[in-house]
């Protein structure tokens, strides 16, 4: 795999420093540096002009909603606006914690997140290790093309396929079950099957695409290492264990941190489509609850409070996992 | 380098190939089944006679699908949103990625942190919804093109690519009196066509497949993208079809609807599935630049 085209490849660790580290350098400036800084700003005034609209975009569409999230602590009244609405403290949060839905939402959100982590995280790594061992170029190409393909289907189409292929009446999966003498299973309406269907279809759709990252890291391994190991009589499994896995460890850790950051933030799009009245007990998660309460029910302050609760927990988990990763493995996002 | 393989390694290789063959079959089976079902008599499907290859070839489902005006309208809207949205995405992404790629751009560390923070924390669905509503964007094309106009991840990929363009070229151009913008337009962008293509594909696929913004911001069904019509046809109808099965007349109706669904899925996904194998190497390149940069 050839990256080429003047791209400088860096390891994830260097990357993170590169992205965020330059702030530190900028702070330690002498008078001379300050002068050259002014000169650089004057010289590049057109670049600041260029970037300004995008900064404004981020301020308006990303940071203003964070400011707007204060309505979680207020009783939002459209006429009074965000600033003018009266403060009510943690009233909405307490109402949420006391509600009938609270534990159901927490349980579903967490279980789906953990289920996804347990299956969706290791499978692409294993797939990448397997593809990496294939020597036949044509076969490798076929495996890659086929496994990446589902990534290009829309969420709506994937969920529609689930409904169609898993239908208890017309679906091919239940036809197969029936052919072996089993009873048809209502995968899409039976709460007990919901999480499995959700996670496995997710694995089906994303395992190939997610493996690219690891394949890229594997492609960077020095072939001499492998040759040396072969001369020493290491088996294929030993080579994978002692050479390939350690080589992609930084990538694995970065991806793990990112995945952990979304354990508590199951995405809205797919779950919303798979949800129906019959499987609600297993499929109702925080994001869909926010949608129903806020956008359909117009309880803006209450639903903002729930959303904020989720964001804060996610962000906290990300920081904690990142901190642990930095201590234990010296690899982290920042 | 054809050293003799040990017995264990032969076993390993055989198992590896066998497992990958299995994975390929599991991956491709649903897709093949959809193609077969769309060109078969739906009755065969219901009777459970259809496993892999089409039976009782017919194009009825496609005829039905093409008669549906919603599909055409959805297609037209989606193409429009995809083209306009991608143009906005690319313009804004270049406008921020280029300055951030310049080592002599003072403040790039702060600005990078400023945008990366939004990857990990957000104000949430409702404050964003209220903002878009207050800006008067509801039920306009802007609601589906502006709120997600810049992907931080893609900006990082693009910036990384721009950083690979040698400093010397810029210094030489500066001596010749070229301004930054002139340089960006005349030198950087022509040199960056591969990454611009990758970004156009990433953003384009995103627009083609998205439904969420349309779901919450669009009310007029004449503006719905294809995905929203698909949701109505494939997912919402499915529930009613499933709950009213039983009588004969309804069964006949279900049959037709079932066949239609497979045709619709294929019509909606075909553009992406056809285009993607040809562009695969560009997509992969994009993922790799992005991943290696964290």
User: CB–CB of A67 and B123 under 8 A?
Assistant: yes
All residues at 6 or more sequence positions from A201 whose CB lies less than 8 Å from its CB, including other chains: A158, A159, A162
This prediction has a pTM of 0.85
Residues of B in contact with A212 (CB under 8 A): 284, 287-288, 291
Do residues A226 and A243 touch, judged by C-beta distance below 8 A? Answer: yes
User: CB–CB of B3 and A230 under 8 A?
Assistant: yes
**In this structure, are A47 and A153 located in the same domain?**
no
Closest residue of chain B to A258, computed from CA coordinates: B120
Do residues A246 and A158 touch, judged by C-beta distance below 8 A? Answer: no
The confidence score (pLDDT) of residue A331 equals 78
**In this structure, are A293 and A278 located in the same domain?**
yes
pLDDT digits (tens, 9 = 90+) for A145-187: 899 989 989 999 999 889 888 888 778 888 888 888 888 888 8
**In this structure, are A120 and A51 located in the same domain?**
no
DSSP of B157-180: HHHHHHHTS-HHHHHHHHHTT--H
| Partner residue facing A50 (CB), from B31, B33, B181 | B181
**In this structure, are A284 and A227 located in the same domain?**
yes
Residues of A in contact with B281 (CB under 8 A): none
The confidence score (pLDDT) of residue A213 equals 86
Q: Which of A165, A172, A155, A152 minimizes the C-alpha distance to B231?
A: A155
Of A72, A89, A106, which marks where a domain is finished?
Answer: A89
Query: What's the whole-number mean pLDDT along residues A216-224?
Result: 87
User: CB–CB of A3 and B127 under 8 A?
Assistant: no
Residues of B in contact with A26 (CB under 8 A): 106-107, 109-110
The confidence score (pLDDT) of residue B55 equals 77
In a domain, residue A26? The reply is: no
Q: Which of B143, B127, B120, B148 minimizes the C-alpha distance to A306?
A: B127
Min Cα separation A75/chain B (Å)? 13
In a domain, residue A21? The reply is: no
- What are the residues facing B246 on neighbouring strands? none
**In this structure, are A257 and A199 located in the same domain?**
yes
User: CB–CB of B195 and A212 under 8 A?
Assistant: no
| Partner residue facing A216 (CB), from B147, B156, B291 | B291
Which domain range does residue A144 map to? Answer: 96-329
Which of the residue ranges A248-252, B233-237, B266-270 would you say has the lowest mean pLDDT? B233-237
pLDDT bucket at A5, cuts 50 / 70 / 90: very low
pLDDT digits (tens, 9 = 90+) for B152-185: 989 988 998 898 888 888 888 888 888 889 999 9
Burial class for A213, CB neighbours closer than 10 Å (0-12, 13-18, 19+): buried
**In this structure, are A84 and A192 located in the same domain?**
no
Alpha-carbon gap, residue B77 to A18, rounded angstroms: 41
Alpha-carbon gap, residue B269 to A149, rounded angstroms: 11
| CATH code for position B215 | 1.10.3720.10
pLDDT digits (tens, 9 = 90+) for B246-260: 455 666 677 777 778
CA B30 centroid distance within chain? 19
ipTM > 0.95, yes or no: no
Residues of B in contact with A292 (CB under 8 A): none
pLDDT digits (tens, 9 = 90+) for A19-73: 444 444 444 456 667 777 788 788 888 999 999 999 999 999 999 999 999 999 9
Q: What is the dihedral of CA B235, A161, A262, B206, to 10 degrees?
A: -90
Alpha-carbon gap, residue B58 to B43, rounded angstroms: 11
Quote the crossing angle between the two packed helices B7-38 and A122-132, to the nearest 10°. Answer: 110
pLDDT digits (tens, 9 = 90+) for B175-222: 888 888 999 998 899 988 888 988 888 899 899 999 999 999 999 888
**In this structure, are B147 and B182 located in the same domain?**
yes
Residues of B in contact with A178 (CB under 8 A): 48
CA B40 centroid distance within chain? 29
User: CB–CB of B272 and A153 under 8 A?
Assistant: yes
Which domain range does residue B269 map to? Answer: 64-294
The confidence score (pLDDT) of residue B129 equals 93
Which of the residue ranges A266-270, B21-25, B28-32, B276-280 would you say has the lowest mean pLDDT? B276-280
Alpha-carbon gap, residue B80 to A253, rounded angstroms: 40
Within 10 Å of residue A160's Cβ, how many Cβ atoms? 26
pLDDT bucket at A272, cuts 50 / 70 / 90: very high
pLDDT digits (tens, 9 = 90+) for B45-101: 776 677 777 777 777 778 877 877 888 899 999 999 999 999 999 999 999 999 999
Q: Which residues of A305-331 are buried (b: 16+ CB within 10 A; e: fewer)?
A: bbbbbbbebbbebbeebbeebbeeeeb
- What are the residues facing A74 on neighbouring strands? A87
| CATH code for position A144 | 1.10.3720.10
| Partner residue facing B131 (CB), from A23, A65, A303 | A65
CA distances from B64 to A66, A234, B34, B260 (A): 47, 61, 16, 7
Tokens read off for A185: 């299973």
Give chain B's domain count. 2
User: CB–CB of A236 and B12 under 8 A?
Assistant: yes
CA A238 centroid distance within chain? 31
**In this structure, are B24 and B132 located in the same domain?**
no
Which of the residue ranges A62-76, A223-237, A248-262, B3-17 would you say has the lowest mean pLDDT? B3-17
Residues of B in contact with A15 (CB under 8 A): 292-294
């Amino acid at each position: 795999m050839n990256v080429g085209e003047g791209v400088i490849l860096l390891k994830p660790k260097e990357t993170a420093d590169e992205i965020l580290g330059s702030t530190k350098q900028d702070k330690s400036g002498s008078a001379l540096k300050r002068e050259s800084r002014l000169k650089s700003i004057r010289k590049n005034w057109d670049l600041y002009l260029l970037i300004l609209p995008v900064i404004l975009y981020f301020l308006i569409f990303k940071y203003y909603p964070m400011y707007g999230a204060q309505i979680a602590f207020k009783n939002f009244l459209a006429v009074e606006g965000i600033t003018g609405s009266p403060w009510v403290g943690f009233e909405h949060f307490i109402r949420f914690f006391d509600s009938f839905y609270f534990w159901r939402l927490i349980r579903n959100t967490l279980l789906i997140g953990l289920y996804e982590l347990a299956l969706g995280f290791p499978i692409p790594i294993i797939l990448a290790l397997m593809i990496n061992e294939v020597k036949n170029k044509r076969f490798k190409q076929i495996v890659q093309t086929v496994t990446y393909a589902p990534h290009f289907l829309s969420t709506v189409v994937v969920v529609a396929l689930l409904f169609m292929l898993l239908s208890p009446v017309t679906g091919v999966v239940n036809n197969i079950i029936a052919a072996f003498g089993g009873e048809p299973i209502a995968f899409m309406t039976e709460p007990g099957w919901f999480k499995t269907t959700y996670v496995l279809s997710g694995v089906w759709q994303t395992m190939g695409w997610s493996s690219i990252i690891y394949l890229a890291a594997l492609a960077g391994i020095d072939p001499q290492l492998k040759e040396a190991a072969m001369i020493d009589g290491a088996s294929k499994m030993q080579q994978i264990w002692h050479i390939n896995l350690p080589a992609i460890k930084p990538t694995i850790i970065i991806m793990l941190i990112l995945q952990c950051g979304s354990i508590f933030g199951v995405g809205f799009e797919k779950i919303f489509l798979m949800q129906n009245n019959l499987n609600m007990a297993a499929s109702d998660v925080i994001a869909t609850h926010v949608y129903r309460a806020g956008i359909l029910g117009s309880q803006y302050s209450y639903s903002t409070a729930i959303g904020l609760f989720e964001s804060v927990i996610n962000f906290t988990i990300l920081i904690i996992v990142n901190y642990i990763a930095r201590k234990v493995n010296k690899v982290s996002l920042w | 380098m054809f050293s003799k393989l040990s017995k264990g390694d032969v076993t390993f290789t055989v198992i590896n190939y066998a497992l990958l063959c299995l994975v390929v079959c599991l991956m491709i089976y649903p897709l093949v089944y959809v193609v077969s079902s769309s060109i078969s008599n739906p009755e065969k499907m219901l009777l459970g006679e259809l496993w892999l290859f089409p039976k009782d070839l017919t194009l009825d489902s496609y005829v039905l699908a093409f008669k549906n005006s919603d599909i055409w309208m959805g297609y037209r809207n989606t193409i429009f949103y995809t083209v306009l949205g991608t143009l906005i995405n690319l313009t804004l992404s270049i406008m921020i990625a280029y300055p951030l790629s310049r080592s002599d751009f003072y403040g790039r560390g702060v600005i990078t942190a400023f945008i990366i923070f939004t990857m990990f924390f957000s104000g949430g669905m409702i404050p964003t919804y209220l903002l878009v509503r207050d800006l008067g964007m509801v039920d306009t094309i802007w609601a589906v093109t502006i709120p997600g106009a810049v992907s931080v991840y893609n900006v990082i990929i693009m910036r990384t690519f721009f950083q690979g363009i040698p400093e010397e070229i810029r210094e030489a151009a500066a001596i010749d009196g070229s301004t930054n913008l002139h340089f960006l337009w005349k030198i950087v962008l022509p040199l960056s066509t591969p990454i611009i293509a990758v970004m156009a594909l990433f953003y384009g696929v995103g627009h083609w497949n998205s439904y969420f913004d349309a779901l919450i911001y669009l009310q007029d069904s004449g503006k719905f993208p294809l995905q929203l019509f698909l949701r109505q046809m494939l997912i919402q109808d499915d529930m009613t079809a499933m709950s009213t099965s039983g009588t004969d007349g309804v069964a006949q109706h279900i049959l037709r609807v079932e066949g239609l669904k497979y045709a619709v899925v294929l019509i909606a996904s075909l553009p992406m599935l056809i285009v993607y194998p040809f562009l695969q190497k560009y997509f992969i390149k994009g993922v790799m630049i992005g991943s290696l940069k964290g």
